Amino acid sequence: MSDASTALGVRLYPDLVERGGLAPALIETAARHGLDLGRVTAPAQGRSRFTCAELHSGQGVVCVKLGSQARYFMIDLRVSGEVLARGDVMDLLQVAKVAAAWQSGLTIAELTAQFPFMEEIRHRPAPVAQVG
């Protein structure tokens, strides 16, 4: 059994095993559908090199990870390390479409309207120190 099939699970992600992991599968899917994902990276070593991908653009980073018990893709949209939107979906093409929309400059509000499985993360304001 290959490193990719051990890390990914052949039953859940046979298409990703065939392509050598999540990042190469995203690149191939985007190319097949004419989508611009920006720069795509994966960790250099360990199991996560098959199960994680980051798509870098001027807007920020789209971080994608795999579900381990069922087939789904977890998506975080991050700016300066802060998660602004999050969602999960079962279709790899939808992941590529989210990343391409983010790459093209869609705002979080536009992106969550276009992709209902994505949800904006509302951040609470930092507590104000009270002087007593």
- How do residues 70-95 score in pLDDT, each as one tens digit? 889 999 999 998 999 999 999 999 99
> Which residues, given as ranges, of the chain have pLDDT below 70?
1-10, 123-132
The pLDDT assigned to 92 comes to 95
The pLDDT assigned to 47 comes to 79
Q: Which residue has the tokens 């070593």?
A: 45
Q: How many CB atoms lie within 10 A of CB 92?
A: 21
pTM for this prediction: 0.84
The pLDDT assigned to 124 comes to 59
Q: What single-letter DSSP state applies at residue 62?
A: E
